[in-house]
Chains A and B, each alone.
Chain A
């Protein structure tokens, strides 16, 4: 299954500059693991032991996956996953 993944500027060092990559899997976790096989290092920038990193927002189509099933959110062919770093500070 092809899932389109939109990569933010700060993570494009892992994708040779590509803004858009394709991944496969039945869940977000599987898609991110699949990306890691081609873009080594990208996985740990998005995920830690507890799940999605606090500083990173991940969207499935128009929804923040935190309001779905987080890292275990089911994905399907044609879905678009968007990764965006939080814009925040103190």
Chain B
């Protein structure tokens, strides 16, 4: 189960809307071992694509160094789908490499850049297997 603060949910949705129709992506880091997302880190989608996202390689190095320095881990790894449902694609599964992270998907397919309904779901992806999990918003 993912337990997450409302303001962090809002921040991910706002990022997804701002970057629509391209995919938005980022991390919410938290203290190692806590499973609690606390530090919101929007990332640039180096692919700038409506169907693909990738953290820039130098941004990725800096992100992991900063988390290491703070004894943090990527508790949430999020990205948006802009034309399809908030469910991991085959590409998402093939790249997923943080077995302890919550992979959060936001879909902006219904409302694009404006306020309104959105899909927000969370998954574990371990050894190529997707398991959806409940979300508790605080």
Interface range, B side: 20 to 34
Give the number of residues in A that approach B within 8 Å (Cβ atoms).
Answer: 17
B77 contacts A by Cβ under 8 Å: yes
- B21 interface contact, C-beta 8 A: no
Within 8 A of B (CB), among A50-81: 55, 57, 59, 62, 64, 66
- B51–A90 CB distance below 8 A: yes
A64 to B91, CA, bound (A): 23
Contact present for A87 and B55 (CB under 8 Å): yes
A84 touching B64, Cβ below 8 Å: yes
Give B contacts to A, CB under 8 Å: 25, 27, 43, 47, 51-55, 57-58, 60-61, 64, 73, 77, 79, 88-92, 94-100
11 examples of A-B residue contacts, CB within 8 angstroms: A8-B97, A9-B98, A64-B57, A87-B43, A87-B60, A87-B97, A88-B55, A89-B91, A90-B53, A90-B89, A90-B92
